Amino acid sequence: MSQRYIHALTAAGAIPWMIPLLPEDTDTLRAIYDELDGVFLPGGADIDPASYGEQRHPNCDRSDTARDRVELSLTEWATRDRKPVLGVCRGLQLINLAAGGTLWQDLGTQRPASIKHDYFPYRDGFARDHLAHPVSIRPGTHLAEIVGPGEHQVNSMHHQGIRDLAKGFVVSATAPDGLIEAIEMRGDQFVLAVQWHPEALAEKDPLTQRLFEAFTTAARDHRREREAGGIIA
């Protein structure tokens, strides 16, 4: 797991707690979850298409089914209990799947109108903070309140993306080709995710760091409400 996630979170005042992959040990996983004030879902391997009832596309990359199961459980519990959730890249895709949405397994072949989104450091040598394309952030969304509406330049390290948006969510940012780049849950619950990698931009971009600060603030508020008896989780 990239240390950049940890650094961005600690810089925002969070205390990150790495979760072990215990898909078969629900009791232990649940006990860990109960101590959390929020759930952060980072990037990583492609989600196994079997997790959402599809056959594997030839261009679908390696998967980690244990991680899929653990993160899906954490996401489902957190959204039900109103714990804040922030997702990055794979995290956005997983949040959408957990709520009933679907994915493009490979944008290049399944969505030919897509622009290039796969600026991979490990394959093509692009820097992780390479600004690949703009995204348009929709006014009136929670994301716009955090980083501002309008056009923002972002990095891009993915070849999959949201196909059908899950019910209960709204699109808060799109790429020039119309691909969904950010989503959030309707209402006042903090469940927000972006397709780009803000952890690689946060050190030099105060606007990007605000994402992690907003998540940490929401987690802190959730903890206070629980301690005051306002939330039963």
Residues 190-220 have pLDDT tens digits of 999 999 999 999 999 999 999 999 999 999 9
**What are the pLDDT digits (tens) for 142-170?**
999 999 999 999 999 999 999 999 999 99
pLDDT > 60? residue 232: no
For 71-120, the pLDDT digits (tens) are 999 999 999 999 999 999 999 999 999 999 999 999 999 999 999 999 99
Active site annotation includes 89: yes
Give the pLDDT confidence score for residue 205 in this predicted structure: 93
- Please state the rounded mean pLDDT for residues 35-58: 94
Residue-wise burial string across 23-38, b where 16 or more C-beta atoms lie within 10 A, e elsewhere: eeeeeebeebbeebbb
Give residue 218's Cα distance to chain centre. Answer: 16
pLDDT, position 124: 82
What is the pTM assigned to this prediction? 0.95
Q: Is 60 a catalytic residue?
A: no
Catalytic residue among 71, 89, 133, 142: 89
Query: Please, what is the average pLDDT of the chain?
Result: 95
Domains identified in the chain and CATH numbers:
3-227 (3.40.50.880)
d(CA 94, CA 185): 14
Instruction: Check 71, 181, 184, 199 and give the catalytic one.
Output: 199
Q: Give the C-alpha distances (Å, rounded to integers) separating 116 from 18, 66, 158, 162.
A: 32, 30, 9, 15
pLDDT at 230: 62
State the catalytic residue, choosing from 152, 159, 197, 222.
197
